[in-house]
Amino acid sequence: MQALCYDRAVDPERIRALLAGVASGDTSVESALNALADLPFADLGDARLDHHRQLRTGMPEVVYAEGKTDDQLIRLLQAIIDRGQTALATRVSRDQALAVTAGIDGVVHNPAARTLLRPAPDAPEPSGRTVCIVSAGTSDQPVAEEAAVTASALGHPVDRIYDVGVSGLHRVASVRARLQAAGAIIVVAGMEGALASVVGGLVSRPVIAVPTSVGYGASFGGIAALLGMLNGCASGVTVVNIDNGFGAASAASRILHGGAADGA
């Protein structure tokens, strides 16, 4: 019987193939048990990497880089890569990015998004419904780019529409056709956060609003934008936490796939 090794990846298709091999007799039960033995998580000593997350939710664990040492970040990303999954880290500092890109081949640093990304070897090209990322101003770009990188890593084409804030409404009105063509829209805005309600009133698509911490003193680090978005008059707008571009893109992906996101 063929002894298949599924230790490198735990996406649903590979697990399905493993179980089909057992059912057909091409894979021994013992081989399957060995392949499944370390699936729940990998104990790295100071971290437990959740290898079952892709099976449960459709996307592997994503590493939040703030507060981690260079060594921790490298080990976590390498462990994800070793299992054939897409490795994504968010909130990455410049020094962390330099250390990781020097230590792991093929990792791409997006300094605007503050992300590190290495797609899985068999990751398909982005396809299907587009996620449109809309930002009010260029100061919102780091959060907008975090959303864009995440959406792309989850397999979605991305349309960026930046600097169309409400102080010049003609700008967002001029791109209504692009907004309506998208499968889901992520609106990133600081200050008073009014852009989300404006976009929500223009389209029939799901709108996910991301308040940012951009603004003068009375914006209270994004709380004003958060409350403005929560109290917006456009119906059906969903709001995530302050500066959470990653969470917005993850939600958009689940919406577009009717549940859990496809494997990333």
Question: 132-180 pLDDT, tens per residue?
Answer: 999 999 999 999 999 999 999 998 999 999 999 888 888 888 899 999 9
Residue 59 and residue 250 in contact, taking contact as beta carbons nearer than 8 Å: yes
pLDDT (0 to 100) of residue 34 = 65
**Residue 237 structure tokens:** 């707008």
**Strand arrangement, sheet containing 184-189:** 158-161, 131-135, 184-189, 207-211, 237-239
**This prediction's pTM:** 0.79
CATH 3.40.50.1970 spans which residues of the chain? Answer: 131-256
Question: What's residue 31's pLDDT?
Answer: 76
Second CATH level (architecture) for the domain 131-256: 3-Layer(aba) Sandwich (3.40)
- CA distance linking residue 40 with residue 50, whole number of Å: 6
Q: Note the pLDDT of residue 179.
A: 94
CB contact burial 106-129 (16+ within 10 A = b; e otherwise): ebebbeebbbbbbbbeebeeeeeb
| Dist. CA 262–CA 258, nearest whole Å | 10
Give dist(CA 147, CA 150) in Å, integer: 5
Average pLDDT estimate for 250-260: 82
Distance CA(210)–CA(184), nearest Å, equals: 13
Q: Are 59 and 264 in contact (CB under 8 A)?
A: yes
Note the pLDDT tens digit of each residue in 66-76: 999 999 999 89
Contact 149, 119 (CB under 8 A): no
Spatial separation of the C-alpha atoms in residues 201 and 235, rounded to whole Å: 8
pLDDT tens track for 207-254: 999 999 999 999 999 999 999 999 998 888 999 999 999 999 999 998
Alpha-carbon span 50 to 39, nearest angstrom: 8
Tokens of 80: 């994800």
Beta bridge partners of 159: 132
Half-sphere exposure of 163 (CA within 13 A, CB side): 2
User: 72-121 pLDDT, tens per residue?
Assistant: 999 899 988 887 788 999 999 999 999 999 999 999 999 999 999 999 88
